[in-house]
Structure 1
Amino acid sequence: MLFCPTCSNILMVEEAPESGLRYACNTCPYVYNIRRKVSSRTFPKLKELDYIMGGAAAWENVDSTDAVCPKCAHVRYQSASTKMKIEKMAPLMPCSDSSAVSKAAEMLVNGHVIAVPTDTIYGLACSANCPEAIKKLYNIKGRDSAKPVAICVTYVTDVRKWGEAEHLSDDLLNSLLPGPVTVVLQKTKYLNNPFLNPATAKIGIRIPDHNFINKVTKLFDLPVALTSANFSNEPSTLSVKEFEHLYGHLGAVFDGGVLSQGLDQNRTGSTVVDLSKIGLYKIIRKGISYEKIVTILEDNGLKNVEHLSPF
Structure 2
Amino acid sequence: MPTIPQTMTAIAFDTPGDASVLAPAELPVPQPAQDELLIRVAHAGVNRPDVIQRKGLYPPPPGASPLLGLEVSGEVVAVGEGVPETWIGREVCALTPGGGYAEYCVAPAGHCLPVDGAMPLRQAAAIPETLFTVWYNVFQRGMARDGETLLVHGGTSGIGTMATMLGKAMGLTVVTTCGSDDKCRESERVGADLSINYRETDFVEAVKDFADGEGIELVLDMVSGDYVARNLACLKEGGRHVTIAVLGGPKAEINMAQVMSRRLTLTGSTLRPRSNEFKRLLAEEIEQEAWPLFLDGTLAPVMDESFPLAEAAAAHARMEAGDHMGKIVLDVAKG
Q: Above 0.5 in TM-score?
A: no
Q: Which has the larger radius of gyration?
A: 1
Q: Which structure features the higher share of strand residues? A: 2
TM-score, with structure 2 as normaliser: 0.27
